Amino acid sequence: MVLKGLSNVLGAHSDFKIVASCTDGPRCVEAIRKFAPDMAILDGSMPGATGPEILSIASIENLSTRFVFFTSAEVERELVMLAPADGFSLISKDVTPEILVQSLRQVAGGRRLLPLPTTDQTVLREQSAITENALAVLTERERQIMRLVSEGLSNKEIGRRLNISNGTIKVHLHHIFQKLEISNRTVLAAIAISQDDGAGPAPEHEPSRIRRS
């Protein structure tokens, strides 16, 4: 049912092309090797291979595919522990089809998506309203840094991009955390992505090839 649902949702958009569909981990890995898709959408608890095992194979074989785990809260917590070391994205199974498509377009564009560290939707809505107001007090430089954090860049990489020192980046992040009343960059990245209103449809000239599993 999940596979059919994903197929229907993505098939309705011309900028996505599904090249393979698998129901277990080993077949998923073989399909990725064979088709080298731009993106692979994986269940976080596929039979035959866990998410970390698939990521390990991808790292060893230097696969270029971007991995997106379409996952439940329980598996999500396990994968979040790997977040600092592995360049994958997480999308909750609770999202609406519209948010799913928008999120996948962001991943196709080079962004890395990680969830807010809570699954309580009421809390998320309240936090979203609070942070939207708090974002208004950020300076333009702080907004730039927030956007770069959401792209997965380190402090050193952000410093090179903006031509400022690592120490200055740390000071800016400290001020951002204080203003938004948060404590880490994972939450900051999630807030930045959730507030992003510039994610329009992907270009029509070349569909993103997606492998579902």
pLDDT per residue as tens digits for the range 66-107: 988 887 654 555 555 554 445 678 887 777 788 888 888 888
Mean pLDDT of 46-66: 84
The one-character DSSP state at 139 is: -
Residues 35 and 99 in one domain: yes
The answer to whether residue 55 sits within a structural domain is yes
124-159 burial code (b ≥16 CB/10 A, e <16): beebeeebeebbeebeeebeebbbbbbbbbebeebb
Residues 134 and 165 in one domain: yes
Per-residue confidence (pLDDT) for residue 163, from 0 to 100: 93
Give the CATH number, domain containing residue 67: 3.40.50.2300
Mean pLDDT of 112-120: 55
pLDDT band at 196, cuts 50/70/90? low
Sign of the torsion angle spanned by Cα atoms 70, 5, 59, 66: negative
Residues 125 and 113 in one domain: no
Residues 6 and 96 in one domain: yes
pLDDT band at 206, cuts 50/70/90? very low
Side-chain-side CA neighbours of 173 within 13 Å: the count stands at: 22
168-198 burial code (b ≥16 CB/10 A, e <16): ebeebbebbeebbebeebbbbbbbbbbeeee
Residues 61 and 161 in one domain: no
Structural domain of residue 164, as residue ranges? 121-194
CA 158/CA 166 separation, integer angstroms: 8
Give the CATH number, domain containing residue 178: 1.10.10.10
Contact 51, 78 (CB under 8 A): yes
147 is written with which tokens?
């956007």
pLDDT of residue 126 exceeding 70, the answer is no
Residue count of the chain: 213
Neighbours of 97 (CB within 10 A): 13
Mean pLDDT for all residues in the chain: 75
Q: What are phi and psi of 180, to 5 degrees?
A: -90, -5
Residues 152 and 173 in one domain: yes
Residues 23 and 87 in one domain: yes
The answer to whether residue 147 sits within a structural domain is yes
Contact 79, 113 (CB under 8 A): no
Number of domains in the chain: 2
CA 91/CA 113 separation, integer angstroms: 7
Looking up tokens 């928008």, which residue turns up? 102
Residues 10 and 34 in one domain: yes
pTM over 0.95: no
